[in-house]
Amino acid sequence: MKSSIRRFLSLLAVALVAYGLVSALRYWRFGKFSSSGQAGEGSHRPEKFTLPENAPLELSDVDLLSRLNDEYAKLTQAVVPSVVSIDTAGVREQLLRDPWGRARMQREMTQGQGSGVIVTEEGHVVTNQHVISGQNQIQVTLHDGKSHPATLIGEDRMLDIAVLKINAPGPFVPLKLGDSSQVKVGQIVFAVGNPFGLSETVTQGIISAKERSISDQQRDLFQTDAAINPGNSGGPLVNLQGEIVGINVAIYSPDKMNPGFQGVGFSIPSNDVRESLKQILEKGRPVHGFLGVRLYPIDERIRQAIGFEPTNGSLVIDVVPDSPAARAGLQSRDVIMEFNSKPVQSPTQLITMVKRTPVGQEVPLKVWRSGEVITLQTNITENLSVEPQPVDLTSAETVEVIRQYGVVVRSFTDMERSRGFNGVVVTEVDPHGLAASGIRENDVILAVNKTKVGSAEEFYQNFVGSITRQNTQLTLVRERNAMVLTLEKAKEK
């Protein structure tokens, strides 16, 4: 016991001596003790420092850059007040099956976000059609932070343009639509929008290329390296005068799950936007050109059958009576090689060029007929076909029709659409359904009777509205190959 006490006292003595030595050392260095064991207020010796008072260069030394900097800021201040943030909400209807195989429609809430630009003093806003597709609630946030509901005036699905009207008193600050035909490769442009919900973002770049195509429907786009990201869709691409030269529509991103800017963005030229805008404001809908032909793609089998050697062109299989094609003298088995002096690569491309041609314009056609190449002249008219009436997707009759064919589709996500994907994806095909012989899982359906579909609801609306009255044509892509499939009219019960 005494030995333990002696060891304890020895250790205590060593600790006290050590503490005394450390304290004495600190007192010698800093002149006072600190109860916390740390140096006191006088422990820090001030460092000598000298901060520079002058910039390396005077502004007069970089006069050009200085003026350019001020002009960039001036341009931004002039453009940003006309750019709006768009928030949408809606109900998406999806076809599901219960454990007994019975079809039913399920509704789920959806939300979206994009950009837009004010183009009239009355408050009309141009944005992308895919930003508001299938959404019934649209909210627009202005530069001053105030939010207002907006009404959809009309949409051009082929061009991916929609026109909204802000439900608030004006006047508003619009931007001018410039002349996109004057745009040059290499010129400076600015993209303005709300990427990832970050409002009023401005990025700078150049026009990298013109007449780019990201699908058969979206052609002749501007390519830019101004940073465009998800949320920029519908925002303007402006020139040095603050004029709109394009509406940002898509980006290229190899990562499908997490798309981001890779230096390649695409914009719809302002001249196309202006034409569609005027038509929607005047008539409530876009006015597309009409030729009046049924076409078939040229493949090796067709070439051998008709003796056609060139690699481009589209085969005419039928001509609508009293149509521009009929009046021009087009005949079945003709091959249209050029439309308005532009080579024809596919039926879809030709139809797109026809639709984008102003009504009343006279257009030359380069046609191959029985081994000879001839030139015909046609006058493009308006397509006056009647739009199908809206269908109640929840009714027992509609659900029964969908059950008969057994096709379940889903819409592309916003991320997928931002990469240029169009149409709807087939997720399930009933092996006993009427469509099983032609449609497969993972097919991408682009159009019903040549009417483009952008969501599952649009597909079912167009498909049911047509198949109950007539044989219906579906345009689809399977493993990168485009094809046309015709389904027979639904059976009456």
Per residue in 161-173, pLDDT (tens digit) is 999 999 998 789 9
**pTM for this prediction:** 0.62
Q: Which of 160, 225, 334, 414 is catalytic?
A: 160
* Structural domains of the chain in order of their starting residue, each with its CATH number: 79-166 (2.40.10.10), 180-283 (2.40.10.10), 289-382 (2.30.42.10), 396-487 (2.30.42.10)
* CA–CA dist 196, 211 (Å, integer): 27
List the beta bridge partners of residue 485: 474
pLDDT the model gives residue 78: 92
Question: Mean per-residue pLDDT for 336-356?
Answer: 86
Three-state DSSP class for residue 118: strand
Comparing CA positions, the residue from 166, 165, 162 lying closest to residue 132 is 162
Question: Mean per-residue pLDDT for 219-223?
Answer: 82
* CA–CA dist 199, 401 (Å, integer): 45
Does the annotation mark 233 as catalytic?
Answer: yes
Residue 353 burial (CB count, 10 A): 18
Question: Mean per-residue pLDDT for 69-79?
Answer: 90
Report the range out of 214-218, 223-227, 251-255, 469-473 with the highest average pLDDT: 223-227
Residue 345 burial (CB count, 10 A): 16
**pLDDT digit string (tens) for 349-390?**
888 788 888 888 999 999 999 889 999 999 998 876 544 455
* CA–CA dist 158, 218 (Å, integer): 7
Q: Which residues, including other chains, have CB under 8 Å from residue 37's CB and lie 6 or more apart?
A: none
* CA–CA dist 392, 16 (Å, integer): 91
pLDDT the model gives residue 135: 79
List the beta bridge partners of residue 338: 343, 366
pLDDT the model gives residue 296: 79
**Using an 8 Å Cβ cutoff, are 237 and 244 in contact?**
yes
**Using an 8 Å Cβ cutoff, are 219 and 213 in contact?**
yes
245 burial level (CB within 10 Å; 0-12, 13-18, 19+) = buried
Does the annotation mark 34 as catalytic?
Answer: no
**pLDDT digit string (tens) for 5-49?**
777 777 777 777 777 777 777 666 655 544 444 545 557 788 888
Q: Which of 85, 180, 208, 233 is catalytic?
A: 233
Token representation of residue 200? 């009023």
Q: Which of 130, 133, 414, 418 is catalytic?
A: 130
pLDDT the model gives residue 20: 77
Q: Is 399's pLDDT higher than 90? A: no
* CA–CA dist 426, 431 (Å, integer): 13
pLDDT the model gives residue 322: 85
pLDDT the model gives residue 353: 84
* CA–CA dist 113, 157 (Å, integer): 18
Element holding 110 (H helix, E strand): strand 103-118
**Using an 8 Å Cβ cutoff, are 193 and 231 in contact?**
yes
Question: Mean per-residue pLDDT for 183-211?
Answer: 88
Comparing CA positions, the residue from 139, 133, 173 lying closest to residue 156 is 133
Provide the percentage of residues in the chain whose pLDDT is more than 70. Answer: 84
Q: What does the DSSP assignment read for 410-424? A: EEPPHHHHHTT--SE
